[in-house]
Copies of this chain bind each other. A is one copy, B any other.
């Protein structure tokens, strides 16, 4: 598994009108630039259709948005870990709130990612399910209260107890799991606050993808991520 360093800013492009095809590449390139400039790890998760091309053209870590719990075989319209690997991705989101999985399938997807030396970034919605997630030993776990996703109300300010609770609960069950937080993260300040609460980074989408000036937004986040991280150490 390729190593990822923290703090981590993970950008989910979803399938926004601003983020597929040529735009996926453009947004990934901006992320690469900002990552290089600030020395902060920035990962991107472009739409599935654009995964291979984006992975071929940037040096930053590229994640799939989803992988199916299958071995290669008789599965039509599915995404297998082997092909995600072949496409040049380093990992995958798992169980995003817009692509929830059955518990048994999460177990299987994590196994499939591990077998292919891909990094797993498991999303969960509550402190309770974050505990369950930690017990499954993903590489990274993101806590995202779904009611805040896409709202611009940052979890790190609106629900600090959820972030702190998840960080604490995950550490207790499996201290090797890195914890991010997400939902409503919109500014550098939200990122700084997340890191202050114990998160090792953030997962976000619309604030970057739909920004008038995505680069400016990301620069603010990278700068504050670093500042917050230094304070913590």
Contacts and interface: CB of A to CB of B under 8 A. Distances in A.
Interface of A: 12, 14-17, 20-22, 45, 47-53, 64-66, 70, 72-80, 82-84, 86-87, 93, 95-107, 110-111, 124-126, 128-129, 131-137, 146, 149-150, 173, 205-206
Contact of A76 (B65, B74, B82, B110): B65
Contacts of A136: 128-129, 131-132
Contacts of A132: 103, 106-107, 132-133, 135-136
Given A100-B104, A133-B103, A135-B131, A15 B49 contact: no
A206 B74 contact: yes
A93 B78 CA distance: 12
Nearest to A106: B103
A75 B103 contact: no
A86 B129 contact: no
Contacts of A52: 49-50, 52-53
Assembly stoichiometry (copies)? 4
Contacts of A80: 15, 20, 47
Closest 6 A/B residue pairs (Cβ)? A66-B77, A21-B86, A131-B135, A17-B72, A132-B132, A65-B77
A26 to B, nearest CB: 13
A68 B25 CA distance: 22
Contact of A48 (B77, B86, B97, B102): B77
Contacts of A45: 76
Nearest to A75: B15
B12 A76 contact: yes
10 contacts: A15-B73, A15-B78, A65-B76, A95-B102, A103-B129, A104-B125, A106-B132, A128-B135, A132-B132, A132-B133
Nearest to A86: B21
Contact of A134 (B135, B146, B150): B135
Contacts of A124: 103-104
Nearest to A123: B76
B74 A150 contact: yes
